[in-house]
Amino acid sequence: MTDCFDVVIVGAGLAGLQMLHQVRRTGLTARVLEAGGGAGGTWYWNRYPGARCDVESLEYSYQFSEELQQEWEWTRRYASQPEILRYVGHVLDRFDLRRDIQYHTRVTALGYDEPAGRWTVRTEAGDEVVARFVIMATGCLSSANLPRIAGRETFAGEIHHTGHWPHEPVDLSGKRVGVVGTGSSGVQTIPVIARQAAELYVFQRTAAYTLPARDQPLDPRLRAAVKADYAGFRERNNAMPTAGLSRYPTNPSSVFLVSAAEREAAFEYFWGLGGPLLLRSFGDIMSDPAANALVADFVRGKIRQIVKDPEVAALLSPKQPIGCKRVCLGTGYYETFNRPDVHLVDVASAPIEEITPEGIRTAAGRYRLDVIVFATGFDAMTGALLSIDIRGRDALSLRDMWSAGPRSYLGLGVPGFPNLFTMTGPGSPSVLTNMMVAIHQHATWIGDCLTYLTDQDIDVIEATGEAEHAWGLHVSETAGRTLFPSCDSWYLGANIPGKRRVFMPLVGFPAYARRCAEVAAGGYQGFALTRLDRGRLAREHIAPSRSQPS
Ligand code: NA7
């Protein structure tokens, strides 16, 4: 039997859950299809020791319900993975979301039936669901990157990826553990694993900048002050380029307009605040390579102060500009390398060649291991979308269309794929912002759009090719004014062998949100709107007014 809904939402992560809530408000019927056995997306899968959000908990939370904001009590500056999952459970109950979510249901294919204006959604189990609209809430960091290393299947011990951590406890005590990867996940898990394992080998290819998280119990006075005016707090954060931390605006001054002593004092102050705030110490850090080099030097100095062995400190010192890869937030990360049972292995100069039954062999030597942890990241932003065979009008394949990099209008719609929305898709600010803000903005925009289409009796909405083309230029021009494209990051797809390098997220949240609001207010400029006359299978196009991004 085929189920029919107005809307199918793919994914029950934080985006899918808010989207379900918004769709219900429109009066349309919805079903959420989720591959996992529970809700929470990233926070369902990333259960590795030490997993914690790197956005402050007062900000990394839903803003669609004042009651929810008031009643939920975050306990720490940065919420741990278990605390976020408890929050997800509360939201599911509070808004009675569970009854519309189907777990253990991996979507494998989507096909659009143009005359009927319907999508058929196919699942791994062979079931089909039909819907007018499909909303992809598949996440930006949900398709794990497990590097192809020869001999992996021969390893006699356990292998885990941080993004697919088992639900059962993993006992690392007394074990020889290898962690491959030193991005955010590696930086969070390495200090915790070091305390459990007998010996820890960290296989580092590129040193990342790790700033102190300074996680601590949430200050009750701050919590009370925020709750006294949560709406104002959200509004001020939403006006920031990264949609967050408005309590600490970027110092507009150039680093070159102050003395060396003032500069060091400012760096110290922002380092002491913790989190990514060091990048806000001066206004030109993310645009001027010379300004960026000064703050990068400051961090390298900190690493030399903390790490006792100068050779290890040198290896841990990043060489690329700071901030062009996402900075990591650590708790005792650099200090961990002072432990006698923690060993840093440089796999940039001597790459991993093979996994053997006993462990890892690099070009420089063999490492005997009981457990290998891959903290090797994700096929970001497009991986989860393209793992599904999405076929639009005339059986156009999204994989083919995006083979030279993702193309989208506003990161929300793709020409040739009518009535398909991508939440926090490539071309939208997404991972360059607090994801909860990006999710809120997309969920409310899509919800309003569905209401508009229903009220106007419009059957089909589809991004135009012109709008998509102009938007693509806008995304790359905006990135080009920053240092973001200057190093090999997952923002560019550079971490996945063979993936075309295109800077995927859009820099600057507030201008983007304004543009989306203008598009909607102008009758969905840049989208073609169509009424289907089902009797005659004729079409009536409702011309959009404008299609160029501002
Ligand atoms: P990241 O940030 O992509 O980090 C992955 C790490 O794994 C990084 O150090 C990579 O080195 C390393 N890596 C990847 N493949 C290999 C191979 N084959 N050999 C050695 N090392 C490898 O992923 P995370 O999960 O840490 O964080 C992702 C985001 O999640 C993060 O930004 C937060 O937003 C939350 P490389 O730098 O490619 O040389």
Q: Please write the tens of the pLDDT for every residue from 388-417.
A: 999 999 999 999 999 999 999 999 999 999
Q: Does the C-beta of 185 come closer than 6 Å to ligand 1?
A: yes
Of 344, 294, 386, the closest CA to residue 180 belongs to 344
C-alpha to C-alpha distance for 278 and 298, rounded to whole angstroms: 10
Tokens standing for residue 264: 């060091």
The 3 state secondary structure assigned to 377-390 is: CECCCCHHHHCCEE
φ/ψ (deg, to 5) at 462: -150, 130
Given pLDDT bands bounded at 50, 70 and 90, which one contains residue 540?
low
- Name the closest-CA residue to atom 35, ligand 1: 184
Report pTM: 0.94
Domain end residue (candidates: 342, 358, 374): 374
Per-residue model confidence (pLDDT) at position 547: 42
Q: Whose CA is nearest to atom 5 of ligand 1?
A: 376
**Taking 50 as the threshold, does the pLDDT of residue 550 lie above it?**
no
Last residue of a domain, one of 374, 389, 420: 374
Q: Which domain holds residue 162?
A: 152-244+300-374
Ligand 1: distance of its center to the CA of 383 in Å? 15
Alpha helices in 197-281 (DSSP H): 220-228, 230-238, 260-273
Please tell me whether residues 370 and 385 are part of one structural domain.
Answer: no
The residue to mutate among 152, 162, 205, having the most atoms of ligand 1 within 8 angstroms of its beta carbon, is 205
pLDDT (mean) for 84-109: 98
**Terminal-residue alpha carbon distance, the chain:** 47
Same domain, 51 and 133: yes
Considering 374, 401, 430, which residue would you say is the last residue of a domain? Answer: 374
Cβ of 273 below 6 Å from ligand 1: no
Q: Is 182 in the pocket of ligand 1 (CB under 6 A)?
A: yes
Do 237 and 333 belong to one domain?
A: yes
Please give the distance, rounded to the nearest whole angstrom, from the Cα atom of residue 489 to the centre of ligand 1.
9
User: 549 pLDDT band (50/70/90 cuts)?
Assistant: very low
Is 318 a member of any domain?
yes
CA–CA distance from 450 to each of 27, 120, 137, 187, 413 (Å)?
A: 10, 19, 16, 41, 13
Return the residue whose CA atom lies nearest to atom 20 of ligand 1: 205
Left (φ > 0), alpha (ψ -120 to 50) or beta: where does 424 sit?
left
Nearest CA to ligand 1 atom 33: 184
CA 244 from chain center: how many Å?
Answer: 15
Span from the CA of 494 to the centroid of ligand 1 (angstroms): 11
Exposed, middle or buried: residue 498 (CB in 10 Å: 0-12, 13-18, 19+)?
exposed
Q: Quick check: 532 and 460 in contact, CB under 8 A?
A: yes
For residue 491, report the distance from its CA to the centre of ligand 1, in Å.
Answer: 12
Nearest by Cα to 184 from 50, 314, 88 = 50
Q: How far apart are CA 127 and CA 125, in angstroms?
A: 6
Residue 337: give its domain's CATH number: 3.50.50.60
From the CB of 426, is ligand 1 less than 6 Å away?
A: no
Tell whether ligand 1 has an atom less than 6 A from the beta carbon of residue 205.
Answer: yes
